[in-house]
A and B are shown apart, each in its own frame.
Chain A
Amino acid sequence: SQQGEEDPQALSIQEGENATMNCSYKTSINNLQWYRQNSGRGLVHLILIRSNEREKHSGRLRVTLDTSKKSSSLLITASRAADTASYFCATVLRMDSSYKLIFGSGTRLLVRP
């Protein structure tokens, strides 16, 4: 079963507006990652936040992590039509010799031009 749950499931905004997506998870994590998936394309890694970090920025992306609430949020500022995609959070669980990504069900973002 999947660990993370994104909220909302779908989001429609106007170009230029900010988009906020939330992710909740169940178990302790090593870190949390956000991925983007465009229609017909593979998953693209956006940003990683470690379990001992609270906030991280990358360009127009801002990620927060609250381990006490087992939740994370992804903020996309000044959205563009090209940001239209599905966004997934993935928690990282340690296997014996590597890491396993456990994905949520995703938020489908539509940015209207």
Chain B
Amino acid sequence: DTGVSQDPRHKITKRGQNVTFRCDPISEHNRLYWYRQTLGQGPEFLTYFQNEAQLEKSRLLSDRFSAERPKGSFSTLEIQRTEQGDSAMYLCASSLIGQGFGDEQFFGPGTRLTVL
């Protein structure tokens, strides 16, 4: 499977714990995005990487959230001291520079986080 993969698919944690999610983009894609989706809503942009550089962060990304893409390939999203409001689906997407106007993004299946 050469699509975007995310791990784990589901995570249940207790409030106050730290969690880390991983995203593996399509291999030749140099752009990587993180989104968050709550029930009944569309995805909301969190942050974006071009290669290993984090170029934009949403105001939704509080200090408890940190994302990395150390070698410009896979990315991790860590949430520290989780709160119940962090419960959501976390989606990763990737795209390729130069594929043209509009930047079609390819999404992974998501990681569903439940904070008890």
Could you tell me the distance between the alpha carbons of A26 and B88 in the complex, rounded to whole angstroms? 25
Could you tell me the distance between the alpha carbons of A97 and B102 in the complex, rounded to whole angstroms? 12
* Smallest beta-carbon distance A92→chain B, Å: 6
Number of interface residues of B (CB under 8 A): 28
- Residues in A neighbouring B50, C-beta threshold 8 A: 97-98
Q: Which of B33, B42, B48, B110 contacts A42 (CB 8 A)?
A: B110
Inter-chain contact total with CB atoms closer than 8 Å: 73
* Smallest beta-carbon distance B45→chain A, Å: 5
Is B25 interfacial (CB-CB < 8 Å)?
no
* Smallest beta-carbon distance A102→chain B, Å: 7
Which chain A residues (2-61) contact chain B, with CB distance < 8 Å? Answer: 2, 4, 30-31, 33, 35, 40-45, 48, 50
- 22 pairs from A and B in contact (CB 8 Å cutoff): A2-B42, A30-B101, A30-B102, A33-B104, A35-B107, A42-B4, A42-B91, A50-B102, A88-B42, A88-B43, A95-B56, A96-B55, A97-B50, A98-B50, A98-B97, A98-B103, A100-B56, A101-B33, A101-B35, A101-B45, A104-B42, A105-B42
B107 touches A42 (CB 8 A): yes
Residue in chain B with minimal CB distance to A31: B102
Q: Which of A92, A97, A106 contacts B55 (CB 8 A)?
A: A97
A105 touches B41 (CB 8 A): yes
- Residues in B neighbouring A103, C-beta threshold 8 A: 35, 42-44
- Residues in A neighbouring B104, C-beta threshold 8 A: 33, 45, 48
A48 touches B55 (CB 8 A): no
- Residues in A neighbouring B55, C-beta threshold 8 A: 95-98
